[in-house]
């Protein structure tokens, strides 16, 4: 169940970071705070989708 919830959580986090980045582009929030948050959120989202399909060997 954790493998199903984690990517969805990171997708929601990416959406929130994108909205914060839009506020940063409107100069409401500094961009040096919002851009790293957006990068980390996108990185974690891609990592969670790719990592769950890796072959871990025969157990």
According to the model, what pLDDT value does residue 2 have? 61
CB-based contact 13:41 (threshold 8 Å): yes
* Within a domain: 57: no
- Kindly compute the dihedral angle of the four CA atoms of residues 37, 39, 45, 46, in this order, to the nearest 10 degrees: -170
Neighbours of 55 (CB within 10 A): 5
**Number of domains present in the structure of the chain:** 1
* Within a domain: 41: yes
The answer to which of 22-26, 31-35, 46-50 has the lowest mean pLDDT is 46-50
* Within a domain: 14: yes
* Within a domain: 59: no
According to the model, what pLDDT value does residue 43 have? 95
- Kindly compute the dihedral angle of the four CA atoms of residues 22, 4, 40, 38, in this order, to the nearest 10 degrees: 0
* Within a domain: 34: yes
Whether pTM exceeds 0.75: yes
According to the model, what pLDDT value does residue 49 have? 85
The domain in which residue 11 lies consists of 2-51
Q: Which comes out higher in pLDDT, residue 54 or 20?
A: 20
CB-based contact 14:42 (threshold 8 Å): yes
* Within a domain: 17: yes
According to the model, what pLDDT value does residue 57 have? 72
* Within a domain: 33: yes
């Amino acid at each position: 169940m954790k493998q199903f919830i984690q990517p969805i959580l990171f997708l929601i986090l990416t959406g929130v970071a994108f909205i914060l980045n839009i506020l940063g582009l409107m100069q409401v929030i500094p961009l040096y705070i919002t851009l790293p948050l957006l990068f980390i959120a996108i990185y974690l989202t891609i990592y969670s989708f790719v990592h769950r399909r890796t072959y871990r060997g025969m157990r």
